Amino acid sequence: MLRRLARLFLPAAATASPSVGPDRVPVTMHWFDGTSMPIPDWQRIGDSAPTDSGDARLHAYWDSAAHAWLDAGVARLGEGYRVRGSDDFLLLSTLDSRQGDLFLATCQRMLARIRRSLGELADDGGHGRHVVMVFEHPDDYYAYIGHYYPDDGEYAMSSGMFLQFGYGHFVMPLEAIDAMEPVIAHELTHRLVSHLPIPAWLNEGLAVNTEHAMFPHLASPHAQLYSQREITAQHAAYWNADSIQTFWSGKSFLATDDGNRLSYDLATRITALAAREDVPFRAFVRHADLRDGGVGAEHHLGVSIGDLAHAVLGDGPWQPQPETWQDGVERGQFHFVG
């Protein structure tokens, strides 16, 4: 099956580098019109997927579609871009052979570690290899992710993002390559739990805490922009009865003000508190639903979600109230890294 679930056929780029993986099979690609980068119409591509076939054939079909997608990206982005692959990943970038192989080896290593850490919570999400795009120029990176926003949308600066649209994939600018391991760990966590309909705060909390567990120096007070006292004061000034509901619904993670940064910090702290008892926490993650911010599954924790927020923020009206969310919920389609 597709990793989650227009109209011109673009030729495959002749300069794409060969990669390991299943033999490529013919796939008729369909594309959305009016985009500066090739954006596949995965629904139409899925309509031609093999039926009543084994995993190997489906994997080859979706992997070939992903490869054709990246080949089209090479053709559009121009000289220097190429496609390389490993057992579980396809990479679009301008990295040379040695750098590309190192990047892919890092992805493979991170994938193995995160699978072990998440255990039964992890799911690769379908057939075809994981897709990673590394853009040489920040403008190209932001232009690409702009295709997944409303025309009048604004978004925070980021060093990486998981895009859960059609064929889920993660993207990053080349300027973030020096910190690629934490970025990869963060985004792969999103990828491996993308099958779960969990709230944005829990999704981000899982990703950041996985990142910190693998790279403890990132959680050190010396690595933080603000002191603990300053962060506590910022939380006190920002969160109130109205703004906390944007946190539970996920809307605050898309904020372009301090709400974005504070949302990540609050999610990280609440998730760490919830995860102190492993078995109840895993049950909570399996049953949490973004439509109510996780309230319907809080009995697995033995404590209310509002009480977890109270432990971080102090007294206040912190319990999720999904009936007041007139703007709906953030469905986890965008996941930012720092």
DSSP designation for 290: G
* Cα torsion angle, 28, 22, 17, 81, sign: positive
Q: Is residue 155 part of a domain?
A: yes
Quickly count: other Cβ atoms within 10 Å of residue 168's Cβ: 22
Asked whether residue 113 falls in the same domain as residue 244, the answer is no
Q: Is residue 32 part of a domain?
A: no
Q: Name which residue leads in pLDDT, 134 or 179.
A: 134
- pLDDT at res. 309: 97
Q: Tell me, yes or no, whether 312 lies in a domain.
A: yes
Q: Say whether both 56 and 172 belong to one domain.
A: yes
* 300 plus 215 within the same structural domain: yes
- Beta bridge pairs of residue 171: 133, 161
Both tokens of residue 138? 């920040």
When divided into structural domains, the chain yields a total of: 2
For residue 258, is it within any domain? yes
% of the chain beyond a pLDDT of 70: 87
Domain end position, chosen among 170, 192, 214: 192
Question: For the chain, where are the E strands, in sequence order?
Answer: 82-85, 89-93, 130-135, 161-163, 169-173, 334-336
Pick the more confident residue, 16 or 271. Answer: 271
Cβ–Cβ < 8 Å for 297, 304: no
Beta bridge partners, 90, equal: 85, 131
Q: What is the pLDDT of residue 65?
A: 97
Residues 108, 103: Cα–Cα separation, whole Å: 9
Q: Which domain holds residue 265?
A: 200-331
> What's the confidence (pLDDT) of residue 225?
79
Quick one: pLDDT at residue 333? 43
Kindly report the pTM of this predicted structure: 0.82
Contacts 24+ apart (CB under 8 A), 25-31: 25/60, 25/61, 25/64, 26/64, 27/61, 27/64, 27/65, 27/68, 29/65, 29/68, 29/69, 29/72, 30/6, 31/6, 31/7, 31/72
CA distance 118 to 195: 13
Query: What is the predicted pLDDT for the residue at 178?
Result: 77
Q: How does the average pLDDT of the chain come out, rounded?
A: 86
d(CA 334, CA 338) in angstroms, rounded, equals 13
Q: Are residues 180 and 240 in the same domain?
A: no
Pick the last residue of a domain from 192, 225, 252: 192
163 and 125, same structural domain? Answer: yes
Name residues whose C-beta falls within 8 Å of residue 279's C-beta, 6 or more positions apart in sequence: none
pLDDT digits (tens, 9 = 90+) for 91-139: 999 999 999 999 999 999 999 999 999 999 998 767 899 999 999 999 9
Selected residue with higher pLDDT from 304 and 166: 304
Q: Does 327 share its domain with 284?
A: yes
Residue 34 domain flag: no
Q: Tens of pLDDT along 207-233?
A: 999 999 988 776 666 567 788 899 999
Instruction: Specify the range with the lowest mean pLDDT, choosing from 4-13, 185-194, 317-326.
Output: 4-13
Whether 97 and 187 map to the same domain: the answer is yes
Residues in the chain: 338
Phi/psi for 138 (5° steps) reads -55, -35
State whether 249 and 300 are in the same domain.
yes
Q: What is the pLDDT of residue 53?
A: 67
Pair (213, 172) in one structural domain? no
In a domain, 132, yes or no: yes
* Whether 209 contacts 275, CB under 8 Å: yes
| Local structure of residue 280 (DSSP, 8 states) | H
Question: What pLDDT score was predicted for residue 17?
Answer: 44
Residue 14 confidence (pLDDT): 32
The answer on pLDDT for 163 being more than 60 is yes
Predicted local distance difference test score (pLDDT) of residue 22: 82
Question: Are the C-beta atoms of 334 and 163 separated by less than 8 Å?
Answer: yes
Residue 18 clears pLDDT 60, i.e. is over it: no
pLDDT grade for 154, boundaries at 50, 70 and 90: low
Kindly report the CATH number assigned to the domain that includes residue 188: 3.40.30.160
Residues 171, 288 within the same domain: no
